[in-house]
Amino acid sequence: MARRRLTIRQRRRISDRHAALIDSQALCEPDASHIEYADSLGPEQRGVVITRFGKQADILPPDFSPGDRPRRANVRANLSALVAGDRVIWRDGNPTGVVEAIETRRSLLFRPDNRGNLRPVAANIDRIAIVIASEPAPHANLIDRYMVAAHNQGITPFLILNKADLADAANSHLGQMMAEYEALGYQQFRVSARIRSGLDALQGYLSEYTCVLVGQSGVGKSSLINSLDPNASAAVGELSEAVTKGRHTTTNATLFQLPCGGRLIDSPGIREFGLWHLDKRRVAEGFIEFGQFLGHCRFRDCQHLDERGCVVIDAVARDLISSRRLASYQQIVRSLPAG
Ligand SMILES: Nc1nc2c(ncn2[C@@H]2O[C@H](COP(=O)(O)OP(=O)(O)O)[C@@H](O)[C@H]2O)c(=O)[nH]1
Ligand SMILES: [Mg+2]
Ligand SMILES: [Zn+2]
C-alpha cells in the first residue's frame, strides 16, 4: 500500500493549521445563541463525547458505566472541532440535545486528512498504546514516529505486542526491538487477543488512563478492544478498513469504558501522525535518550546529521545511543520540509 505523499505546500498549510488547532481556547468560548432553545432543553450539565459524526455527537455523563446508552446532541457550528474524549457542557433534549461548550483540553491528538489538513481525532488522552505484532511485521521507524508525535503532544506512549500466540512472536528481530524500547524505559505488554493471554497485566495498566490505540492495520487493535470489553463490537479484519478507505468514509474515533476500569479510544483513522508541523528540534526531543546531549553540540543549530562536534553522533560511538535510533531520527528529519 503506497503511503500518500503531501506536497510542500500542503505541509506548510498543516504547519499553520497546527498553530491554530492547539490554541483550543478559541474553541471553548460559550455561545450565547442557545437562549432560543431554552424552553425545550434540560439544564446545563457536564458530559463526555463518545463519538462524533457530522453535526451531531453522542454524549454520556463524565462518570458513565460500560454499556450505558449515549444521548444524541447537535453540535453548534462554532464547536466544529469537537471529538471523542472531549469534555463538554451540554443540555439534553427530546429527541436531541445540544452541546454548548467544550471544556479546555489537557491533550489533543490530530492527524492529517487526505487533503493535508490537520484534523483533531481525540481529546484528553493520557496514554498512546502503540500496538505491534509479528504479522504484519513492525517497522521500528514507524514506532519511533508515533513516539515522537506522542511526546510532542505531552502524552506518554507504550507498546503492546499482540498475537503472542503465534510462533513468530518469539522471533529474534521482534525480541531485539522490544528489548531496545524496554531499555529506553517504555512500558510494554505481550498479549494475545485471540487466546486471551497477558490481558490481566494490560487491564491493570489501562484501568488508570484514557488510552488511544494506534498501529498498522491488521495488528489486532479492534480485536484487543473486543477482548477487553465484551460489550464492544469493534469491526475485526482488514476488509472492514479496506472498504471504508475505498469509499472515503470518515471512520470516527469512539470512546469505550472498559469493565475493568479505564477508557480506550479505537480510531481506525489513525494510520500515522503527521510530523510535518514539528521543527527538527522537537523531533530530536521526541527521541528521549537524546535529551541529555541536546544543546551540547559544537553548533547551536546542529541537526545531528553529519556535523562536526556533534555530541549526539559521538554518543553513538560511545554506545550511549543506538545507531538504529540515530538513523531513524535522521530519516525523519530528512523527510521534513526544508527550513
Ligand atoms: N493469531 C492471532 N490473530 C489475531 C490476534 N488478534 C487479532 N488477530 C487477527 O488479526 C487480524 C486483524 O485484526 P483486527 O483486530 O481487525 O486488527 P486492526 O486492523 O489492528 O484493528 C484479524 O484476522 C484477527 O483475527 C491474536 O492475538 N492472535
Ligand atoms: Mg481495526
Ligand atoms: Zn548534534
pLDDT tens per residue, range 231-258: 777 777 754 444 444 443 446 788 999 9
Domain shared by 94 and 134, yes or no: no
Q: Tell me how many domains the chain contains.
A: 3
Q: Which of 3, 241, 238, 256 is nearest to 133 (CA)?
A: 238
260 by Cβ neighbours in 10 Å (0-12 / 13-18 / 19+) ranks as: middle
- Tell me if 79 is assigned to some domain: yes
Domain shared by 94 and 121, yes or no: no
Region 305-322: what's the mean pLDDT?
97
Predicted confidence (pLDDT) at residue 131 exceeds the cutoff of 90: yes
pLDDT tier at 135, thresholds 50, 70, 90:
very high
Does residue 87 contact residue 57 with C-beta atoms inside 8 Å? no
Domain shared by 180 and 309, yes or no: no
- Global confidence as pTM: 0.83
Tell me how far the alpha carbon of residue 279 lies from the centroid of ligand 2, in angstroms. 31
The ligand whose atoms approach the alpha carbon of 216 most closely is 1
CATH number for the domain harbouring residue 296 = 1.10.40
CATH number for the domain harbouring residue 87 = 2.40.50.140
Domain shared by 136 and 262, yes or no: yes
Domain shared by 262 and 115, yes or no: yes
Tell me how far the alpha carbon of residue 338 lies from the centroid of ligand 3, in angstroms. 18
Ligand 1 pocket test: which of 236, 266, 272 has the largest number of ligand atoms within 8 Å of its C-beta?
Answer: 236
Q: Whose CA is nearest to atom 28 of ligand 1?
A: 163
Q: Whose CA is nearest to atom 13 of ligand 1?
A: 220
Distances, alpha carbon 210 to alpha carbons 83, 112, 126, in Å: 14, 22, 5
Domain ends where: 235, 266, 297?
266
Q: Which atom of ligand 1 is nearest to the CA of 193?
A: 27
Domain ends where: 76, 102, 128?
102
Q: How many helices (H) and strands (E) does the chain have?
A: 9, 13
pLDDT given for residue 3 in this prediction: 42
pLDDT given for residue 53 in this prediction: 87
pLDDT given for residue 96 in this prediction: 94
pLDDT given for residue 39 in this prediction: 60
Domain shared by 54 and 175, yes or no: no
Total residue count of the chain as it appears in this document: 339
Predicted confidence (pLDDT) at residue 228 exceeds the cutoff of 70: yes
- Tell me if 188 is assigned to some domain: yes
Domain shared by 85 and 155, yes or no: no
pLDDT given for residue 19 in this prediction: 42
Q: Which residues line ligand 1 (CB under 6 A)?
A: 162-163, 165-166, 192-194, 217-223, 236-237, 241
Residues 210-225: pLDDT tens digits? Answer: 999 988 888 999 899 9
Tell me how far the alpha carbon of residue 339 lies from the centroid of ligand 2, in angstroms. 36
Predicted confidence (pLDDT) at residue 339 exceeds the cutoff of 70: no
On the CB side of 189, CA atoms within 13 Å amount to 22
Helix, strand, coil share of the chain (percent; to 5): 35, 25, 45
> The domain containing residue 310 runs over which residues?
280-335
Domain shared by 200 and 301, yes or no: no
